[in-house]
């Protein structure tokens, strides 16, 4: 009788530990996604470009064949003290100043004044700056970069945190990889993305088990997006009955098995 009870417990544990692959495998059905001769999925070109937003910090550097002509259009470089050194030996480092896009979507540019930037792609912003600068200098060259581009990943991932993005182009799988990927307790069907669109807070749920999400507007993340991986039912249930329940049941079943062997 004891051996039958032990066998039933072991079978129950084995069944409970089996997780269907549909719950954990990413990009299911991606082999069915067709690509054209240019490599674009389903024949649709990927034209994603980051758009500038309020609160972005921009590094803008203007140059020209005549360096002196471009000089008034560049913010002065500032010295930042090196706090890791004592005051007697601190030499400090130099740092470029940034332009803040204000709540109205504008920056204040030397000589030119207020320039609308929010809502523009990087290419559009560069074209606008060059057009305005041509009134003052010949053949201007402009470099522009978002210095505070970042995304945050929270919840059931291995290394949650906020990550600075250098390339200004990041996908949801990229962000999850930077956070060490999801734990086994992360809900793949409901990954929450919080996003600010023109000052309006929005949210959506993405199912990364399905390959369809690669065509979603949330496949590429934008600056300051927050990704939250919800816990799955297993994690939620374990928080109620205790995360060590499975270990305890396994120990009991092992003990019953030993007793059965000793008393037969």
**Tell me: the pLDDT tens digits for 79-102?**
766 665 554 445 557 778 999 999
Q: Does domain 57-146 have CATH number 3.40.50.20?
A: no
Give the model's pLDDT for residue 17: 47
pTM of the model: 0.69
Residues of the chain with CATH 3.30.1950.10: 57-146
Q: Which residue numbers in the chain have pLDDT < 50?
A: 13-19, 21, 33, 35-45, 87-89
**Predicted pLDDT at 21:** 47
pLDDT of residue 167: 84
For tokens 């996003």, the residue is: 195
CATH 3.10.560.10 boundaries in the chain: 22-34+149-234
Q: Name the CATH superfamily, with its identifier, for domain 22-34+149-234.
A: Outer membrane lipoprotein wza domain like (3.10.560.10)
The token pair that represents 75 in the structure block: 């913010």
The pLDDT, as a whole number, for residue 71 is 94
- At 101 the pLDDT is 95
């Amino acid at each position: 009788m004891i051996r039958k009870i032990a066998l039933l417990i072991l079978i129950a544990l084995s069944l409970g530990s089996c997780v269907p692959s549909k719950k954990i495998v990413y990009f299911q059905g991606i082999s069915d996604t067709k690509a054209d001769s240019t490599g674009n999925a389903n024949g649709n070109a990927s034209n994603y470009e980051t758009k500038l937003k309020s609160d972005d910090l921009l590094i803008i550097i203007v140059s020209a064949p005549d360096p002196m002509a471009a000089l008034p259009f560049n913010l002065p470089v500032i010295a930042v003290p090196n706090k890791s050194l004592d005051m007697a030996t601190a030499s400090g480092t130099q740092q470029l100043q940034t332009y803040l896009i204000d709540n109205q979507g504008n920056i204040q540019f030397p000589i030119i004044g207020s320039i609308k930037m929010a809502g523009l792609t990087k290419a559009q912003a560069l074209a606008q700056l060059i057009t305005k600068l041509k009134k003052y200098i010949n053949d201007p060259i402009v470099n522009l970069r978002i210095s505070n581009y970042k995304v945050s990943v929270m919840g059931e991932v291995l290394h949650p945190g906020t990550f600075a993005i250098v390339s200004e182009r990041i996908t949801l799988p990229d962000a999850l990889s930077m956070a060490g990927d999801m734990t086994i307790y992360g809900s793949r069907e409901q990954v929450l993305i919080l996003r600010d669109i023109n000052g309006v807070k929005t949210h959506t749920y993405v199912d990364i088990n399905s390959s369809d999400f690669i065509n979603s507007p949330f496949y590429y993340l934008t600056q300051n997006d927050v990704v939250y991986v919800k816990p799955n039912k297993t994690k939620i249930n374990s928080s109620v009955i205790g995360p060590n329940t499975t270990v305890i049941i396994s120990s009991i079943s092992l003990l019953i098995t030993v007793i059965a062997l000793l008393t037969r």
